[in-house]
Structure 1
């Protein structure tokens, strides 16, 4: 029995290391929390902006790169205010940063695109 366990671990440990390094190089993530799933799905969509959202971005000097790389990627979805069950396009409220939010973004996530509707500066 001890011999079988020894062979098992001899295969398991290198196998786990190989899988870890291969997935890590490809940028794969294994987060199954609702907030992370919604944000990851949002970032794969084509972005479209309402006229009001564009004006608010200009007023607050927010670039599209900052929006994607920081605000959305590091934001937190407020599921209490969001309408995640709305058909065909769920609507979400995203707060950035997670603690003491400065911005609140209202957007809908459809099958092909994410449409950003409103941007509010909270402070």
Structure 2
């Protein structure tokens, strides 16, 4: 069998397999609410969302937890400004938009909680 014919069969089978995989994986994630986070940004945001959120005492006037949750859902982690090696809590800076307002939030990712340390309205 010539190489081009084998390549054609391979590509047809690969495309059919990819269509089936995307259909079944999308169905599974819709039913169970499971997220497939493979990229660093998604993994950090998922970890920050998984722990109880505590707002630092110095930020008591800022009590907009809906804006904070929106940034944790759709924000971008700024790894250049973050300190992922800090002890005992890693420091992550997340930029996102909430209610037509851009925010830059600084979180401390501790073992038992996520603490909002600082916020900046841009």
TM-score (norm 1): 0.71
Report the alpha carbon displacement of residue 19 of structure 1 after superposing the two structures with TM.
4.9
Q: Distance in 2 between matches of 1:114 and 1:32?
A: 21
Q: 5+ unaligned residues in a row in structure 2: which ranges?
A: 1-12
Q: 1:34 aligns with which of 28, 34, 40?
A: 40
Cross-structure match for 1:116: 116
Q: Distance in 2 between matches of 1:37 and 1:54?
A: 28
- What are the within-5 Å matches in structure 2 for residues 41-52 of structure 1? 41-52=47-58
Q: Distance in 2 between matches of 1:72 and 1:113?
A: 14
Report the alpha carbon displacement of residue 121 of structure 1 after superposing the two structures with TM.
1.1
Q: Distance in 2 between matches of 1:92 and 1:39?
A: 10
Report the alpha carbon displacement of residue 87 of structure 1 after superposing the two structures with TM.
2.2
- What are the within-5 Å matches in structure 2 for residues 15-94 of structure 1? 16=21, 17-55=23-61, 57-58=62-63, 62=64, 64-68=65-69, 70-94=70-94
Which shows bigger deviation, 46-55 or 107-116?
Answer: 46-55
Query: Which structure would you say has the larger RCO, counting Cα contacts within 8 Å and 6 or more residues apart?
Result: 1
After superposition, the CA RMSD in angstroms is: 2.5
Q: Aligned to 1:28, what secondary structure does the other structure show?
A: coil
Q: Distance in 1 between matches of 2:106 and 2:26?
A: 36
Q: How many residues align?
A: 105
Q: Distance in 2 between matches of 1:84 and 1:19?
A: 31
